[in-house]
Structure 1
């Protein structure tokens, strides 16, 4: 394959022995390095390199102006806007920037296409006057102001242009307009030394500039194939065909730079793959099968540049050399989320920071490193103390005074000014730099350097202009600036695989092309309407529309294929993607206009998904596990531990054998278990002093007066010291107060009814040894019973439940189901365990009952355990007899024997719920 650049150099050297004095102008800087390489391939001795520049650099040199970015242009425009608008009509900078950026884009297009601004803006003003929505004869103030805006556009344009030219600055379009006005003199002096290569879609200014240069001896080389050039309906040659037909230069000169490569033999694979990651993985497969010698002649072109990271992670091992022409976006750096969150935090107008924001900053890897993991300590305290909102002083109180510098910068006292925030961020970058410098982390230092440039640019803008008044505006411009910043990859530009975007492929040729994301909405990009100028007006003034923009993509697409021999075109088949998985019209066009020597093959690739068997997990009991079980038995099995095993042995294994507990997290809304703990703790505080005493009305009435104070104190102890003054937490606080109040009311009604209740135990820790001869180690059961009392001569063992419990949930029909059916018998199992522990340690002569008081079902009062013989049997035995205890202990021993049996593994139970299987 003879590349386009190689063909040009050969032609020039055939005519000129020395090309060092030429100035080559290319569409991009990227192509310049390849041009130098092609020149070196034709030389056998050292020569001075010719001057190689991009078209933008050429326009700058002709105009004598410095190109400024869109952000600086916006700031300059606001200065002009303030002087050109009456004070009463002025908008603040935030509102101004919402429409001014679009207007600057239109100014840029008008200048690039050399359109008289007064003419097009007057035309636009008249259109708006016709189209305005107010139909009455007399216009309202709103309509008048709306129309006044459109009439001011010529004045805005003229003032901005004058202001910039006085400073020898210009946005890109103005640079082109000024260059087109000065090109005659420039071309007269040095036109013959310039060569223009590889252009396609030229704006009016570029056309004028190049034509003037051609008139004075310059040369231009187009890269178009005869198949497309001679097809009057093909968009790949839309622009070049027009230049050949309309430029005066070609009326006396032959248009002879047409190649004949596209119709040659090519193998073209059209491959549909779901998802971006699927494309990246498949590209890895293609590359792994390419011979090593072909990799340097291969280009991997990303139609969607967001595919860069997954693509880099999918490259196979045989890629020993890689040249990446795209930059690594700054937004993918580990610092991106940190700076974004600091901007968000700075918008808070008080010094109370939401815990999630604080944790987000402190858990950032850079902050962890810079604070020597002091941030982990602060996060741990926040979670442990359940702190929802924190002040700066509170955060600093958690750490050593000598280590507060990073924390001081990250958390400001109260609302901060934009300039102070930028200074803080610059200080933070410098501080982080020192830590990463010590570690020799070159990549992080490179990221920090680019962030430093962004913040310095912001500082320069803030010092030069006074427009930004809020952190919100500052954040917007920070995102604008950082989105344009990328880290350039370092590599050998002419060795190995070339990874690039569509624009970087201009002028370059490769034998093997792999192009991804060939979908509608990506290639071509589709319609966009970032302009105040309507479609019809653009057509009238020959401004580019979506038709011309699609033609640009068409040229790039077919240029990639022009000299290639092997082509892989990948498209996303995922229907949830941007355009619903619709493949690009270019692929359909390839098939419809198929050349005789083109071998086109269609395929759809579906990733192989291994079948996953949903088998229940089984954990055999190793000697180490048996030792752990002996330790648990010696310390004591609790009712919750044993019911956990009944529910799911695997949960028992995780919680009690492996000691895996839920991670501490901030409880933003009071959880149900916390609510229950507060109810229990409140009643314990009330009833503990009454142990051994009979309940009296006066005591209960006094408790009712203390409910609010005691419940609040328990919430501060169990949940958070932050007052529960709003939202769901306030409602939960009131619910707990109501629970306690209703319970005390129930107790008072019992006493008023003549019942005598004597408190025996409150939150008592019980233990008992269970004799199991089959085991050669002691077995203890232990538990904490909420309350034991004596009511009218009957001993009652009471378990408090803040959830809803019904009487039938405490009734047992078949003892054999007690240790197998968690949902039916978990509550009887618990209260019988409490009864077993209590009666083993205490001589009791009175009848014994055990049960539950449900705070969501207080009306029936004490819900008693009961044994019945038939499902509908109304005769129930609620007294805990020796026979009842014997039957229960048989089931208890059998359960403990199963748990401690080395031959019975922990087998996961299939638990059915609203969320599927456990």
Structure 2
């Protein structure tokens, strides 16, 4: 906000007075944001101050490479360090669009540790191979940095308007040369972490000097650069206590007592220097603006400089002092709901889906928010998944599904007996390990939070197997008809024509002759999510809270097109609230829901809703309207 105030004041300066105007930065860190905000009325400006190299992006890029090697383990480089390097603009200079491709590759393959060979199948790039090659000593690390800087120089010299980057490069190259000299002269430096530490110490000591036209336009400088200069107008930023003067925060090994003893300059002398420069500026000035931050967000952050207080209270001062408070209000952003008209391209893609198949999740995503459906199914914008260090809930669900499918596969269409479960129980651990490796693409063994999630998955699978065993022990006849069954059907929707629908049913079984169509869920499910009011069947088309009811009805509808049956029960087994057991589709009865067997009448009601939903998707007069989720 101080920059915004300065920009406002700059816009008011007449063109002829620009050469007599100085912008003074008490805090030199504001230089880059200020340069970014200079208004259009200022065509020429001259920067007569240095900028510490540690504030520039190239120093961060080089430090990231050093850090990646210092933190390397036997498993490889930790992915966050590699991603930091690849997302830098300098990585883009070195390996062009391959940098984006590799970030995507890391995230899609869930690589927690990246090895030098990780990218072999994606790209072959010598400079990337060089960066990724493990270093064995400090000399090799320095050589690696030097070769990266040399490669950068070659690439940047081939491009236009890269003067600032080339200047940064020269500065960093000098720092690395200094670093190399220190290491050559000190044989005891053997730890890579020492290189990182020394680099961090040396970079702030080097300044990037700006070369400008000193007699043209606006002057931008630090306070010490103003010595013996006079300006008509001055705008000074960060006139806050703790910045001007800086106070006692002088980094020194020599204590203040020692400084007094040996007549060395202390912080009070430094304050005097700043005071002299501050008041010297006011000698011949016509108009001076001092901007300070009143936000008390840091200790003393909202305190104006003592120099300003002195100005205001000095009885001999001839200056006319006026105060202005600037408040930048953040106006609330009013979010308009998105409305997308259905273009011909929408119908082309919809026709493709109609021939390849609508799934229950695609249709319920439309019920939840038509814009989500539009983004994921029509535009096919997939959310770029982040690397999962901790197994996400949906991945955990996949692991449990996968393991249960494999466990029950050998026992399909067989009346289960107690002995079968003895064999199944022995297989649990083995099948879970296979499922874990398949779903969670990482070679590392489950550790930390993942170990907990692995154990929770194991617990859920054991509970599921035990509950089936309990049914068998209690004398019930249990036959697993199928696991992970893909069901498809082509339906004839009035006014639309043939449309394909499909879905994957986790389990179809028969309990004492009763057909059950079951979907596993790793999240919590309540009876109300799987049940509806028979008087209001349309609710499954409007309320996403009933998505699970929609899902099980659609699975049953699909099954009816594949296998004839009189009636079936369909429901959810939720691992999160396993104590509820099998939660069947039900009709509202009083305050609760009572299981409702799905027969021809229920399927007919569902078909009507399904047709209405599909017709709405194809209706060009109904735009896709965002729902607040």
Alignment TM-score > 0.5, same fold: yes
* 2:113 matched residue in structure 1: 389
Tell me, yes or no, if the aligned pair for 2:518 and 2:570 is still in contact at 8 Å.
yes
CA distance in 2 between counterparts of 1:378 and 1:634 reads 34
* 2:147 matched residue in structure 1: 427
**1:483-537 CA distances to partner (integer Å, 9 max, x unpaired)?**
1222222222222211110111111111111111111111111223645665566
CA distance in 2 between counterparts of 1:469 and 1:433 reads 29
Tell me, yes or no, if the aligned pair for 1:298 and 1:498 is still in contact at 8 Å.
yes
- Residue 877 of structure 1 deviates from its aligned partner by 4.7
Q: Residue 710 in 1 paired to residue 431 in 2? A: yes
CA distance in 2 between counterparts of 1:808 and 1:776 reads 33
Q: Residue 300 in 1 paired to residue 300 in 2? A: no
Equivalent residue pairs, number: 625
Aligned CA distance change for structure 1 residues 487 and 542 (closer, same or farther; 3 Å): closer
1:249-398 mapped onto 2 (5 Å cutoff): 278-348=1-71, 350-351=73-74, 352-392=76-116, 394-395=117-118, 397-398=120-121
* 2:627 matched residue in structure 1: 909
Tell me, yes or no, if the aligned pair for 1:406 and 1:431 is still in contact at 8 Å.
no
**2:356 pairs with one of 635, 641, 661:** 635
The alignment partner of 1:706 has SS state of: helix
* 1:798 matched residue in structure 2: 518
1:156-235 mapped onto 2 (5 Å cutoff): none
- Residue 299 of structure 1 deviates from its aligned partner by 1.2
CA distance in 2 between counterparts of 1:728 and 1:367 reads 33
**1:452 pairs with one of 166, 173, 176:** 173
**2:384 pairs with one of 663, 671, 692:** 663
* 1:66 matched residue in structure 2: none
Tell me, yes or no, if the aligned pair for 2:48 and 2:212 is still in contact at 8 Å.
no
- Residue 670 of structure 1 deviates from its aligned partner by 0.8
* 1:885 matched residue in structure 2: 603
* 1:848 matched residue in structure 2: 568
Aligned CA distance change for structure 1 residues 452 and 410 (closer, same or farther; 3 Å): farther
CA distance in 2 between counterparts of 1:822 and 1:406 reads 47
CA distance in 1 between counterparts of 2:413 and 2:498 reads 33
Aligned CA distance change for structure 1 residues 465 and 687 (closer, same or farther; 3 Å): closer
TM-score (ref. length: structure 2): 0.92
The alignment partner of 2:395 has SS state of: helix
**1:821 pairs with one of 543, 555, 574:** 543
* 2:500 matched residue in structure 1: 780
1:438-837 mapped onto 2 (5 Å cutoff): 438-439=158-159, 441-528=162-249, 530-531=251-252, 535=256, 538-539=259-260, 542-577=263-298, 579-593=300-314, 597-607=318-328, 609-773=330-494, 775-813=495-533, 814-823=536-545, 825-837=546-558
Tell me, yes or no, if the aligned pair for 2:63 and 2:199 is still in contact at 8 Å.
no
* 1:156 matched residue in structure 2: none
Aligned CA distance change for structure 1 residues 594 and 418 (closer, same or farther; 3 Å): farther
Tell me, yes or no, if the aligned pair for 1:724 and 1:733 is still in contact at 8 Å.
no
- Residue 304 of structure 1 deviates from its aligned partner by 0.8
CA distance in 2 between counterparts of 1:658 and 1:727 reads 38
Aligned CA distance change for structure 1 residues 633 and 410 (closer, same or farther; 3 Å): closer
CA distance in 1 between counterparts of 2:579 and 2:253 reads 71
**1:5-36 CA distances to partner (integer Å, 9 max, x unpaired)?**
xxxxxxxxxxxxxxxxxxxxxxxxxxxxxxxx
CA distance in 2 between counterparts of 1:854 and 1:609 reads 44
Aligned CA distance change for structure 1 residues 591 and 877 (closer, same or farther; 3 Å): closer
Aligned CA distance change for structure 1 residues 624 and 777 (closer, same or farther; 3 Å): farther
CA distance in 2 between counterparts of 1:539 and 1:333 reads 37
Tell me, yes or no, if the aligned pair for 1:506 and 1:556 is still in contact at 8 Å.
yes
**1:276-304 CA distances to partner (integer Å, 9 max, x unpaired)?**
xx222222222222222211111111111
CA distance in 2 between counterparts of 1:802 and 1:532 reads 59
Aligned CA distance change for structure 1 residues 489 and 543 (closer, same or farther; 3 Å): closer
Tell me, yes or no, if the aligned pair for 2:94 and 2:127 is still in contact at 8 Å.
no
Aligned CA distance change for structure 1 residues 512 and 614 (closer, same or farther; 3 Å): same
| Structural RMSD (CA) | 2.6
CA distance in 2 between counterparts of 1:675 and 1:888 reads 31
CA distance in 1 between counterparts of 2:273 and 2:55 reads 29
CA distance in 2 between counterparts of 1:465 and 1:683 reads 61
CA distance in 2 between counterparts of 1:292 and 1:869 reads 80
The alignment partner of 2:483 has SS state of: strand
Tell me, yes or no, if the aligned pair for 2:616 and 2:622 is still in contact at 8 Å.
yes
Tell me, yes or no, if the aligned pair for 1:849 and 1:878 is still in contact at 8 Å.
yes
CA distance in 2 between counterparts of 1:659 and 1:350 reads 38
Aligned CA distance change for structure 1 residues 644 and 581 (closer, same or farther; 3 Å): same
Aligned CA distance change for structure 1 residues 405 and 531 (closer, same or farther; 3 Å): closer
Tell me, yes or no, if the aligned pair for 2:130 and 2:144 is still in contact at 8 Å.
no
Unaligned runs of 5+ in 1: 1-277, 912-918
* 2:134 matched residue in structure 1: 412
CA distance in 2 between counterparts of 1:598 and 1:854 reads 76
Unaligned runs of 5+ in 2: none
Tell me, yes or no, if the aligned pair for 2:23 and 2:220 is still in contact at 8 Å.
yes
Aligned CA distance change for structure 1 residues 534 and 715 (closer, same or farther; 3 Å): closer
CA distance in 1 between counterparts of 2:436 and 2:109 reads 12
**1:196-216 CA distances to partner (integer Å, 9 max, x unpaired)?**
xxxxxxxxxxxxxxxxxxxxx
- Residue 885 of structure 1 deviates from its aligned partner by 1.7
CA distance in 2 between counterparts of 1:609 and 1:378 reads 38
The farther-off stretch of 525-534 and 808-817 is 525-534
* 1:895 matched residue in structure 2: 613
Tell me, yes or no, if the aligned pair for 1:378 and 1:398 is still in contact at 8 Å.
no
* 2:157 matched residue in structure 1: 437
CA distance in 2 between counterparts of 1:600 and 1:303 reads 20
The alignment partner of 2:212 has SS state of: coil
CA distance in 2 between counterparts of 1:290 and 1:737 reads 72
CA distance in 2 between counterparts of 1:605 and 1:388 reads 47
* 1:84 matched residue in structure 2: none
* 1:208 matched residue in structure 2: none
CA distance in 2 between counterparts of 1:509 and 1:724 reads 69
CA distance in 2 between counterparts of 1:678 and 1:364 reads 35
The alignment partner of 2:312 has SS state of: helix
